[in-house]
Structure 1
Amino acid sequence: MIEKSYLNKLEEHKGIIYKMINLYADDGEDRKDLYQEIIYQSWSAYPRFKGEAKFSTWLYKISLNVSLSFLSKKKKQIQIKNPDSFDYYFEPLELSERADWLYRCIRKLTDIDRSIIMLHLDGFDNTEISEMIGLSRNNTNVKLHRIKQQLASLLTGK
């Protein structure tokens, strides 16, 4: 019963995992490793999921924590490439030119800023974002405002 429930919810919210992979893994092998680690960690934690938060919120938090840990380990192993040179798709996606440009600009943000803007773009409110990220709501509000300004500058080239 738990297995089927987990798999159904995972299938419904798999886009969350793909977004994190696209934002935090540099190449195909890293994406595969990160995907497996997120699945493993979420499966291990699922018996403790009490439903106090939405499954999507819970999965975001796990995916984010695993991604940041993964990135931290990778940074210790090698230097990160220039963000403009990333091949950042986990699976073939049909993105418009504008969406592709937005992803490239988001990749230039700091790790935590990437997470904040993606959660915001996915419709989470600032209270939910602050809880997932571990910042105060006020700090999240300020960071989100600055991120939007930074992205506007990146997107317009100003």
Structure 2
Amino acid sequence: MTKDQEHQFVSELENNQNIVHKVCSLYTNDRDSHKDLFQEITIQLWRAYPKFRGDSKFSTWMYRVALNTAITLYRKSKKSIKTQDYESVIFKIKADEYDETQEQQLKLMYNAVKELGDIDKALVFLYLEDKNYTEIAETLGISEVNARVKMNRVKNKLRTILNP
């Protein structure tokens, strides 16, 4: 990799690192696991960057690598998952905009999403990131029709989880 490519990679990673943090938050339960997953995703992005052709936006490609890395590691460690009570999870809401009801709803939604399968979590994550179905399909490597069908099924699953 040339120095120019290295500089470009670092710049793109810095500009889009919130994507990696969001994926890490979705697939981990504590700070150390978050840091480990962030590091692993960064390594995978670095290794894959020379193959990035620019056919899609960098952020779309980054979502795909980050989600695939998280899902792979999550599946490998599934047998020894450490859980954390959702009461101890810190949600970052500005103090002047604090709404206890909203915070409780967020906690319930995150817990419901964590009960979903790997691909379904990724689908919800991208949907909540305001990605359209074309971008979701491209990121997950499925057809747009399949993304729409899966999203409808996931919405029903979440309704069932949230309203037993």
TM-score (norm 2): 0.79
Q: What is the match of residue 94 of structure 1?
A: 92
User: Are 2:150 and 1:143 aligned?
Assistant: yes
- Large movers: runs of 4+ above 6 Å: none
User: Quick one: which amino acid aligns to residue 4 of structure 1?
Assistant: H
Higher normalized contact order (CA 8 Å, seq sep 6+, divided by chain length) = 1
Shift in Å at residue 93 of structure 1? 4.8
> Aligned match of 1:115 in 122, 126, 140?
122
What are the superposed Cα offsets for residues 99-141 of structure 1, whole Å, 9 maximum, x if unpaired? 3332222112111111001111112222222232233322221
Q: Is the 8 A contact 1:24 1:67 kept in 2?
A: yes
Q: For residue 55 of structure 2, give the secondary structure of its aligned residue in structure 1.
A: coil
In the alignment, structure 1 segments of 5+ residues that lack a partner are none
Matched residues in 1 for 2:107 and 2:18: separation?
16
Shift in Å at residue 81 of structure 1? 5.2
Q: What is the match of residue 96 of structure 2?
A: none
RMSD over aligned CA atoms reads: 2.4
Q: What is the match of residue 5 of structure 1?
A: 8
TM-score (norm 1): 0.82
Q: Is the 8 A contact 1:26 1:88 kept in 2?
A: no
User: Quick one: which amino acid aligns to residue 129 of structure 1?
Assistant: I
Larger Rg: 2
Matched residues in 2 for 1:74 and 1:52: separation?
32
In the comparison of the two structures, how many residue pairs are matched?
A: 152
User: Are 2:81 and 1:85 aligned?
Assistant: no
Matched residues in 1 for 2:29 and 2:6: separation?
31
Q: What is the match of residue 68 of structure 1?
A: 71
Matched residues in 1 for 2:69 and 2:88: separation?
18
